Structure 1
Amino acid sequence: MAEKACKKMSLLKLAEERALMKKKLDEQKQKQQLDSVPYLPKDCVSNILIRLPIESLQRSRFVCKPWYGIIKSPTFIRDNLHRAEKVMIFLAPVKTLIRRRYDHLEFVENPNTFSVESKVFELKSVHMLLQPVIESPFKYVTKYMVFEDGKIAIRDYNATCLGKIRASCDGLIVVDNKLEKGELVIMNPVTREVNLLPLGTIYPPHDESFGLVRCGSGGYKLVHLFRDEFHYIGCEVLDIGEKSWRVIDGPSFGLVKWFGYYPVFAIGALHWVPEVDHSEYIVTMTIDDEKFHKIMLPKASRFNDRIMEAYECLCFVTHEDINEISIWVLGSVSDTWTKKYTIAIGCIRDLVPLYFSRFKWEIYFMDKDGSVFGFDFEDEHMKKFTTMKGCFMLPGAEYMVHVNSLVSWQIKENDHE
């Protein structure tokens, strides 16, 4: 009996030893397999990540610390910006609820929605004092529109705000802070980075215009053009990150009846069309010296004409007649306009230019019924984009050229990694 028990114990011990040996062999084999995976240099990983869409990049930051460091680096952010295609950003009205909670008011948002006003409360470290509660005030959800493969895609940042978008540059936008008169907020709707801007000169909204621009150093300036109490045009400039605005001389070449559409940033300057219809010149402010200039247009601008940035130049897209649109180009503030292209196909009188693609030889137009068209300069073909009826022309919506990026106003091009 004792002999059988001893033999049984020996067999059990042998089985345990074999199981342990097998486990060690498996671990060794697994380690060899891991060691055989080639090492990917940081530049190679960065080259792969830079090709991901902006939504995937946001998620990829949290895969591991090395990836987070790559994606947050100034070099990666700059390279990503240079790859970003233009989109049309706009605000769509939504209904939300403000409820009374203890001693303050609270915005009720959908899950995963980012509220600019909630962030403002956080930045100020104060609660909104009790006021008469508006049960269903209108807020706006920030969306953007992409033109690709002959279709229009509308996408959502899941970010809400009460005020309108005032300016856009490199993926940054400036928005009204409706919680305090005259105050502005700068934000990146992709990264959801938000900061308050100091109060400037307060004038009625219909008598002012804002332009956000990138400086040579990589920092950003906000230019505020406004009509003063004597009906002359004044100007102030804010270097983003500074605590106060600087007053500068406005344009000295006469009264401006109206500021027209959003200013255009191109060839190192901001440009305004002073009147919507029949303007013979544009108002230009060079960014480096903050001086104003009058630049004559090659022909008077009409209601459906636009100035636009395209391929590092300033373009004037004008309707010559019912069937012809001309594109004039200005390479620098000191140059003269050159007629570069003529689009002559069918009845195109009511087409309003939207923007030029950054990476394709295409220009996009909107018709009066909200239809979108794209003209390919290589094929000389005008195509209509497919979309749901009425999805582009939202009542009261204003559309602005924008890019989706990871840019921060706190990071300059000369910052070290």
Structure 2
Amino acid sequence: MAEKACKAMSLLKLAEERAMMKKKLEEQKRKQQLDSIPYLPKDCISNILIRLPIESLQRSRFVCKPWYSIINSPTFIRANLIRSENVMMFLSPVKGVFNRWSRSNYQDLDFHENPNTFSVETKIFELKSVHVLNRPLISPSSKYAIKYMVLEEGKSVIRDYNATCLGRIRASCNGLIVLDNVLQKGELVIMNPVTRKLSLLPLGTIYPPHDESYALVHCRAQGYKLVHMFRDESGYIGCEVLQIGEKSWRVINGPAFGLMKWFGYDPVFAIGGLHWVPELDHNEYIVTMTIDDEKFHKITLPKTSRFNDRIMEAYDHLCFVTHEEMHEISIWILGSLSGEAWTKKYTIAVGCIRDLIPLYFSRFKWELYLLDKDGSIFGFDFDDGNMKKLTTMKGCFMIADVSYSLHVNSLVSWQMNENDCA
């Protein structure tokens, strides 16, 4: 009996020794495999990651800790911003099947297109610690999906941030947007739709939307500023500025040019200033606010601006794109605010295509995109002098009647150091 027990113990010990030996051999094999993988320097990995599209970058952050550290570094975020092309951001009515609309089942505004959808208003509730039963009832039919259109390689493609909101887009800069917070009258939200980071802004002067204009700008020395112009009861223009991160707005002197009938189109930020077109048609000048000293100036245009003309930023210059003749579009350039001298850079012969509305210049090549009255989009390449109609891909739609904002997709945060995204 004792002999059998001793034999059993010997077999058990032998099995344990074999198991330990097998485990040791597997660990050695795994270590040899790891040692055989060539080492990639951090700069090399960064150069690979920077070439990924913004959607892939978001997922790549969570591959491993070193990648997370690289992608979230200010140097990488700035490099990604520099490489980002312009897109047209817009709001599209959300379509889908809604849950029963009642306070008893009121969760997350009772609608999500998919489980990954980010709701701006739900995040606001979290920031304000608002209990479900205390949330205001808002019809889900007023909810919008935040989307953008990419114009590239002769095609127009619609893409989705998988984010929804109730308020309109007021301003955009470096990948950040400012939205209305419809849950609190007059309040605004700053957000990056790519990273989905969001913060509430302090309440400013409340005016009807058609009597005010917002612009978000970045200053190397001062960080991000939100500029708010509004027309008071007497018809004169007031102005206030919010330094993002501060708790209150500062009132500054508005343009001392008398009455302004209208703010025109969205302001353009270029060559150190914000530029407004005071009226939509038959305009002789633009209103400019230099960002550093927050002073207003009047700059005379090279010719009278008409309804389909636009001012826009291109290659660190302010451009005036105007319809000179029935079949011609001219590009005027203002290189600096000191001399205020416009130079005609180019004339485009558009042939039988009339009334084209300039959309924006590409950030990386000398190309201008224009919108026809039927919703078609054209691209003019200044290098070869050709005007080409872009192919509309499946899922796109005509944007003639859609309000859009010029935007770039980035990983930028308003909390970053002022020099990180200059």
TM-score above 0.5: yes
Note the C-alpha offset of 1:36: 2.6
Cα shift readout 1:81-103 (whole Å, capped 9, x = no counterpart): 00100000000112556844459
Q: Is the 8 A contact 1:324 1:343 kept in 2?
A: yes
Equivalent residue, structure 1, for 2:89: 89
Cα shift readout 1:238-295 (whole Å, capped 9, x = no counterpart): 0001000000000001211100011000001100000111101000000000000000
**Separation in 2 of the partners of 1:201 and 1:28?**
69
Q: Is the 8 A contact 2:267 2:275 kept in 1?
A: yes
Q: Does 2:414 align with 1:409?
A: yes
When residues 132 and 50 of structure 1 are mapped into structure 2, their CA distance, relative to the original with a 3 A threshold, is closer
Structure 1 residues 151-160 or 118-127, which shifts more?
Answer: 118-127
Cα shift readout 1:285-329 (whole Å, capped 9, x = no counterpart): 000000000000000110110001000110000011121110000
Classify the secondary structure of the residue corresponding to 1:59: helix
Please report the TM-score for the alignment, with normalisation by the length of structure 1.
Answer: 0.91
Equivalent residue, structure 1, for 2:329: 325
**Separation in 2 of the partners of 1:35 and 1:107?**
52
Equivalent residue, structure 2, for 1:51: 51
| Mapping of residues 232-243 of structure 1, within 5 Å | 232-243=236-247
Note the C-alpha offset of 1:16: 8.8
Classify the secondary structure of the residue corresponding to 2:77: helix
When residues 66 and 224 of structure 1 are mapped into structure 2, their CA distance, relative to the original with a 3 A threshold, is same
**Separation in 2 of the partners of 1:101 and 1:400?**
35
Q: Does 2:398 align with 1:393?
A: yes
Classify the secondary structure of the residue corresponding to 2:411: coil
Note the C-alpha offset of 1:180: 1.2
Structure 1 residues 57-66 or 281-290, which shifts more?
Answer: 57-66
Equivalent residue, structure 2, for 1:196: 200
**Separation in 1 of the partners of 2:208 and 2:328?**
38
Note the C-alpha offset of 1:10: 10
Q: Is the 8 A contact 1:97 1:135 kept in 2?
A: no
Q: Is the 8 A contact 1:105 1:127 kept in 2?
A: no
Q: Does 2:178 align with 1:171?
A: no
Equivalent residue, structure 1, for 2:342: 337
Q: Is the 8 A contact 2:158 2:395 kept in 1?
A: no
Counterpart pick for 2:388 among 352, 369, 383: 383
Q: Is the 8 A contact 2:90 2:146 kept in 1?
A: yes
**Separation in 2 of the partners of 1:14 and 1:159?**
61
Q: Does 2:280 align with 1:276?
A: yes
Structure 1 residues 286-295 or 211-220, which shifts more?
Answer: 211-220
Note the C-alpha offset of 1:13: 9.3
- RMSD between aligned alpha carbons? 2.9
Structure 1 residue ranges without an equivalent (≥5): 1-5
Q: Is the 8 A contact 2:224 2:414 kept in 1?
A: yes
Cα shift readout 1:57-98 (whole Å, capped 9, x = no counterpart): 101111111111111111111111001000000001125568
**Separation in 1 of the partners of 2:225 and 2:287?**
18
Q: Is the 8 A contact 2:157 2:396 kept in 1?
A: no
**Separation in 2 of the partners of 1:218 and 1:84?**
23
**Separation in 1 of the partners of 2:37 and 2:337?**
55
When residues 102 and 152 of structure 1 are mapped into structure 2, their CA distance, relative to the original with a 3 A threshold, is same
When residues 135 and 221 of structure 1 are mapped into structure 2, their CA distance, relative to the original with a 3 A threshold, is closer
Please report the TM-score for the alignment, with normalisation by the length of structure 2.
Answer: 0.90
Q: Is the 8 A contact 2:213 2:230 kept in 1?
A: yes
| Mapping of residues 180-219 of structure 1, within 5 Å | 180-217=184-221, 219=223
**Separation in 1 of the partners of 2:360 and 2:383?**
17
Equivalent residue, structure 1, for 2:32: 32
When residues 376 and 198 of structure 1 are mapped into structure 2, their CA distance, relative to the original with a 3 A threshold, is same
| Mapping of residues 238-317 of structure 1, within 5 Å | 238-317=242-321
When residues 38 and 136 of structure 1 are mapped into structure 2, their CA distance, relative to the original with a 3 A threshold, is closer
Classify the secondary structure of the residue corresponding to 1:107: helix
Q: Is the 8 A contact 2:284 2:303 kept in 1?
A: yes
Structure 2 residue ranges without an equivalent (≥5): 1-5
**Separation in 1 of the partners of 2:359 and 2:238?**
29
State the identity %: 76
- Write the letter of the residue equivalent to 2:353: I
- Write the letter of the residue equivalent to 1:108: D
- Write the letter of the residue equivalent to 1:109: F
**Separation in 1 of the partners of 2:360 and 2:378?**
11
Equivalent residue, structure 1, for 2:159: 155
Equivalent residue, structure 2, for 1:356: 361
**Separation in 1 of the partners of 2:148 and 2:125?**
26
